[in-house]
Amino acid sequence: MSRPESSDIGERTDAAAALRQQAAGLVPSRTIALVGLMGAGKTTVGRRLAQALALPFADADAEIVTAAGRSVDAIFAEHGECEFRRGERKVIARLLAGPVHVLATGGGAFIDPGTRALMQERALSIWLKAPLDVLMKRVAKRDDRPLLKEDDPRAVMQRLMDDRYPIYAEADITIETSAGPHNAAVAMILDALRAHLAVKA
């Protein structure tokens, strides 16, 4: 494996420092919950957003895996989606009862009425909205997406977009993302957060 060039490391460090500077003075009073379809970048963007805001980060799917002792794929296969959503609701409720942090949620979390009500009550929700081509390019890198294990994943993703986008639109903030760098999405979120919190102040 080749080592990263020192210039690449320097660029990442500079970018992270610029985001921290952009986030200066932003102090959310609620957990920031990222919602959106699989492949929207919720985990990667969430980690970088948490770093910029100097907040802890949590990934709901990872927390579910830890609590259940099995993968998301295995939970779907053994118990079905309804049981997964029940466990997801419990895990997210526990996370939202804790200190303020940045939370990346699974693609279906905000679609579940109970989980959505929890997030609307206790969190500031941000929808990462991405075009179909961007989502498909990103999800192709992983084979652990239980909802895409069909002959035509693109058709499944399009159907999910049609079904879920009107519900994601209930989030407090919508960020239009693209195939660009994740740091660009973080910067847009920071700008939107500042505007949102200023209105709420």
> Is 153 contained in some domain?
yes
Predicted pLDDT of residue 13: 73
Predicted pLDDT of residue 84: 86
Domain of 120, in residue numbers = 18-187
136 vs 134: CA distance, rounded Å: 6
**195: which DSSP letter?**
H
Predicted pLDDT of residue 117: 95
> Is 127 contained in some domain?
yes
Predicted pLDDT of residue 183: 92
> Is 95 contained in some domain?
yes
108 vs 103: CA distance, rounded Å: 14
Predicted pLDDT of residue 201: 57
Predicted pLDDT of residue 156: 86
Number of other CB atoms surrounding residue 181 within 10 Å: 11
136 vs 37: CA distance, rounded Å: 11
CATH code (residue 152): 3.40.50.300
Predicted pLDDT of residue 104: 97
pLDDT one digit per residue (tens) for the chain, 201 residues: 445 454 455 566 788 899 999 999 999 999 999 999 988 999 999 999 999 999 999 999 999 999 888 888 888 888 888 888 888 999 999 999 999 999 999 999 999 999 999 999 999 999 999 999 888 888 776 555 555 556 678 888 899 999 999 999 999 999 998 877 889 999 999 999 999 988 765
> Is 77 contained in some domain?
yes
Predicted pLDDT of residue 57: 98
> Is 97 contained in some domain?
yes
> Is 174 contained in some domain?
yes
pTM of the entire predicted model:
0.87
Query: What order of strands is seen across the sheet that includes strand 123-129?
Result: 57-59, 102-104, 31-35, 123-129, 173-176
CA-wise closest residue to 57 among 92, 93, 102, 27: 102
Domain count along the chain: 1
